[in-house]
Structure 1
Amino acid sequence: MPTTLHTSELPGLELLHRGKVRDVYVLPGNRLLMVASDRLSAFDVVLPDPIPGKGEMLCQISNFWFAKTAHLLPNHLTGEDVAAVLPDGVDPALYARRSVVTRRLKPLPVEAIARGYLIGSGWKDYQRSGSLCGIRLPAGLQQAARLPEPIFTPSTKAAVGDHDENVSFDAVVRAIGGDLAEQVRVATLQVYRFAASLAAERGIIIADTKLEFGLDEAGQLQVMDEMLTPDSSRFWPASEYREGISPPSYDKQFVRDYLETLDWNKSAPGPRIPAEVIEGTRQRYAEALKRLAGIELD
């Protein structure tokens, strides 16, 4: 059965970072233990109610994609057994399916986003300016329209409680240098095209996805954190897709759509989430995991 974990507690391990979803601990040998909690963030605010089993589902679908894309670029996974690095007295069952041991990389200060469809903040930017991250798009596109080709639309990497902001490719060049920025753009679009093709065979449209990258000690680019999850991507059932609406989805857009009905300024603290929205979100994450990776955790 899936477990529920809002906040990890691992006595004896140094907590390096508690993010919106993941808790990261320091391990010897330049390694990290990354724990995916059941916390849910929306509009860059961590909501008070967890989604039971969400962290397990995120971790399992990330591991699926890390394996599927290993031929495209390296990733941060070491493949080591999580139970072997847990402190004495900690129940391994609570952490086994939601945690990974990783190499400790130097993270790049950019959210690498690939978009194949016009939705979310990209749709709002297009309505205002006809452009997205400095890329001029054709006139007359509707919400959820398929773009002529996938585009790289980076954003800033906000701290917990702050909002990411779409930026131009030139801003990425200024932040990390031209050669590295181009590597990130090429890798992001390559991963997106590969994943979108695989997902299409399983009846799912990947509208967009966000990747994070880091450098190892040799300066090699690696993908890290999570990969093509319902937290970092928009998954639409192909059978229900149409332009002009926010399509039904297997991701946290279900929660975003609920939050948009509230009188909330999208700043912390976040509002409580009704039980039916929590369960509906859990079901959508589970469906994505089942359809994409063939994995059921119930």
Structure 2
Amino acid sequence: MLRLNSLNSMDAMTKNVVLNTDFPDLQLVKRGKVRDIYDLEQRLLLVATDRLSAFDVVLPEGIPSKGKVLTAISAFWFSYVKSIVENHIVTTDVNAFPDACQKYKEILADRTMLVKKASPLEVECIVRGYISGSAWKEYKRDGTVCAIKLPGGLKESERLPEPIFTPSTKAEKGHDVNISFDQAVSIVGADIARKIKDLSLAIYNKAVDYALSKGIIIADTKFEFGIIDGEPILIDEVLTPDSSRFWPLKGYAAGRAQESFDKQIVRDYLLTLDWNQDYPGPKLPGEIIAKTALRYKEILEILTC
């Protein structure tokens, strides 16, 4: 497991930021917002770069060691929730990767998962346990979150009576689109929609209990599933600072925005700019990059120690 004290100084890390990978001997099949995916015939190689996406826009600068942190946190959670659902990980040990990968092991180490091939579902599974962000804005306006009617009188950042499942469609560029459960059914079918909803809520609830024992609130998170042999398995990343809102329990109080162990530092900075949240994204000051890198490493240590 990657540890905070195993990471280099900020200056050294900045020089080694990985924004893109290029392995001529491997077949690149996709560049996502954060991950580069290579096809190894029987398996896929998921390389977590240090790219940062905010408001669904990939920013021009990366966060030092971010990909390594994401991989370590995902590996921890995949193992932790395996009693609920199978996942796609084969190994994260670069020395166990196929021979064709070994010449690139210096870049691949600690930021890469060798995974099973699954058919990704075209629905993202969002679970919200607290009301924050865009959900809070919608609730203030309409009394709903993703068209789900909620009790009146809720405060910003307040814990919901029970977690809610709010799926969305995936977008390669631009903003994902919230959809109803019925719309999710129309995309993936009733049986799979029910299964991924139940699995998402079960994973979230198990993770919430663990995180609270570490002094962390998981306000909301996003899961992705793929299909192998007709059944959903957990894929991509899970419960990372890129896919979740992590708040420190100490100092938490409903009625205001919360301190956050995720990329909220970047979001808050970007909201001070005259930027329309479309490409190209603005450059980030060094101070914001450094603070964000530290936040990512802090949440890794808190959750996995």
Normalised by the length of structure 2, the TM-score is: 0.92
Residue 115 (1) aligns with residue 132 (2):
no
Residue 172 (1) aligns with residue 184 (2):
yes
Q: CA deviation at 1:267?
A: 0.2
Residue 271 (1) aligns with residue 282 (2):
yes
Aligned partner of 1:92 in structure 2 is 105
Distance in 2 (CA, whole Å) between partners of 1:226 and 1:129 is: 32
Aligned partner of 1:150 in structure 2 is 163
Q: Is the 8 A contact 1:38 1:54 kept in 2?
A: yes
Distance in 1 (CA, whole Å) between partners of 2:31 and 2:290 is: 25
Q: Is the 8 A contact 2:222 2:243 kept in 1?
A: yes
Q: CA deviation at 1:87?
A: 3.6
List per-residue Cα deviations over 1:30-73 (Å, max 9, x = no partner): x1000000000000000001000000000000000001011110
Q: CA deviation at 1:90?
A: 3.3
Aligned partner of 2:48 in structure 1 is 36
Aligned partner of 1:135 in structure 2 is 148
Distance in 2 (CA, whole Å) between partners of 1:14 and 1:255 is: 33
Distance in 1 (CA, whole Å) between partners of 2:93 and 2:67 is: 17
Moved over 4 A (4+): none
Q: CA deviation at 1:11?
A: 1.2
What amino acid is the match of 1:271?
P
Q: CA deviation at 1:244?
A: 2.0
Aligned partner of 2:246 in structure 1 is 235
Q: Percent of aligned positions with the same letter in both sequences? A: 49
Q: Is the 8 A contact 1:111 1:154 kept in 2?
A: yes
Instruction: Report SS of the residue matched to 1:263.
Output: coil
Q: Is the 8 A contact 1:11 1:87 kept in 2?
A: no
After superposition, the Cα gap between the structure-2 partners of 1:287 and 1:183, relative to the gap in structure 1 and judged at 3 Å, is same
What amino acid is the match of 2:110?
R
Given candidates 231, 236, 242, the residue that maps to 1:220 is: 231
What amino acid is the match of 2:123?
V
Aligned partner of 2:271 in structure 1 is 260
Distance in 2 (CA, whole Å) between partners of 1:273 and 1:60 is: 25
Distance in 2 (CA, whole Å) between partners of 1:290 and 1:156 is: 32
Unaligned 5+ segments in structure 1 are none
Distance in 2 (CA, whole Å) between partners of 1:80 and 1:250 is: 24
Q: CA deviation at 1:86?
A: 6.0
Distance in 2 (CA, whole Å) between partners of 1:106 and 1:232 is: 20
Q: CA deviation at 1:186?
A: 0.3
Aligned partner of 1:200 in structure 2 is 212
Aligned partner of 1:190 in structure 2 is 202
Instruction: Report SS of the residue matched to 1:240.
Output: coil
Distance in 2 (CA, whole Å) between partners of 1:94 and 1:26 is: 17
Q: Is the 8 A contact 2:120 2:226 kept in 1?
A: yes
Moved more, 94-103 or 53-62: 94-103
Distance in 2 (CA, whole Å) between partners of 1:249 and 1:40 is: 16
What amino acid is the match of 1:106?
S
Normalised by the length of structure 1, the TM-score is: 0.95
Distance in 1 (CA, whole Å) between partners of 2:80 and 2:186 is: 32
Unaligned 5+ segments in structure 2 are 1-6, 9-15
List per-residue Cα deviations over 1:89-141 (Å, max 9, x = no partner): 73413211000100111000111001100011111221221111231101121
Q: Is the 8 A contact 1:10 1:87 kept in 2?
A: no
Distance in 2 (CA, whole Å) between partners of 1:86 and 1:20 is: 27
